[in-house]
Amino acid sequence: MANIKLKTDLTTIKNLRESGKRLAFIVKKVGEAIKPGVSLIELDRLAYDLIVNSDKKEKGNYKPALLNYRPYGADFPYPNTLCISVNDAVVHGIPNEYKLKSGDIVSIDTCLDYKGMITDHTITFPVGKIKKEDEELLKITKGALMAGIKMAISGNHIQDISSAIEGYIKKEGKKINKDLGIIKTLAGHGVGYKVHEDPYVQNYDDGTKGAKLIPGMVLAIEPMVNLGTEDIYQDKDGYTLRTTDGKNSAHFEHTILITKDKPEILTVL
């Protein structure tokens, strides 16, 4: 617990709630703009505008937390507001001039800083009519997220979340006769004061209990599920991670606050 910073101050929690609510609104509005023919960079510009040109009373309090953020090991800071990952791109896709096509699936992932409190949220959206296997992938990945959140109860451990996510994916995969890939090199994480904090929240049970969940912990839980292999590689752009077999991947994420009772999902309207 030495590296886990709890959020228990009432002002801190109030700002976290506002950050999460506004972030949920932004991702929702970007999702509403998704359609065939729209470019990824257009979606990124929309998100930036929604953040910086917020209500006049709050102008300057909302900031795109990913823009110019440099994660550990990166050669250069992240250049955009959104991570937009299409089809076989798992995470960290850099927005470009690619125009969405009917049948694509696209993950919108971003972080918002409100008065120093950061929240993290992702939804994978369908573009037009998508394949049945992609519909199933989206449904299962979202369901895995909710299964993990259900176990994020004070007194439990990180392992309880991880096990619930893995168990749900495997169970639902069997129902559709798919051996879905659960990525082991990527994980959820603590969030709040920084984009990434301790602890890591794995999407599979690695056999260790991990940190005990106590009130004041803030976690970004984010299952990433592939239609094929769990193996991924980094694209030449230095950020985008893709499936090695070229099959599609889905990603859903909420920021939650551990309370004395049930977990509070912060990234909802």
User: Would you state the pLDDT for residue 19?
Assistant: 97
In a domain, 1, yes or no: no
Output the pLDDT for position 157. 98
Q: What is the mean pLDDT of residues 14-41?
A: 98
257 sits in which H/E element: strand 254-257
pLDDT tens profile 86-131: 999 999 999 999 999 999 999 999 999 999 999 999 999 999 999 9
Query: What is the structure's pLDDT at 59?
Result: 76
Residue 42: give the domain boundaries. Answer: 10-265
What SS3 class is residue 28? helix
Going by pLDDT thresholds of 50, 70 and 90, the confidence category of residue 23 is very high
What integer pLDDT is reported at residue 53 of this predicted model? 86
* pLDDT for the residue 3: 82
What CATH number is attached to the domain comprising 29? 3.90.230.10
What confidence tens digit (pLDDT) does each residue in 204-256 have?
A: 999 999 999 999 999 999 999 999 999 999 999 999 999 999 999 999 999 99
Q: How would DSSP label each residue in 101-152? A: -TT-EEEEEEEEEETTEEEEEEEEEE-SS--HHHHHHHHHHHHHHHHHHHT-
Asked whether residue 136 is domain-assigned, the answer is yes
Query: Could you tell me if residue 188 is inside a domain?
Result: yes
pLDDT in tens, 146-166: 999 999 999 999 999 999 999
d(CA 92, CA 6): 27
H helix intervals, 151-199: 158-175
Q: How many whole angstroms separate alpha carbon 251 and alpha carbon 200? A: 17
The mean pLDDT value of the chain amounts to 96
Residue 4 lies in a domain: no
Given a cut of 70, is residue 1 above it in pLDDT? Answer: no
Distance CA 131, CA 221 (A): 26
Domain annotation covers residue 86: yes
49 within domain boundaries: yes
- 13, 194, 41, 38 alpha-carbon torsion, rounded to 10°: -40
Burial class (CB in 10 A: 0-12, 13-18, 19+), 6: middle
Number of domains making up the chain: 1
Reported confidence tier of residue 60, pLDDT bands at 50, 70, 90: confident
**Assigned domain for 2 exists:** no
Within-domain flag for 112? yes
The Cα–Cα gap between 174 and 183 comes to 17
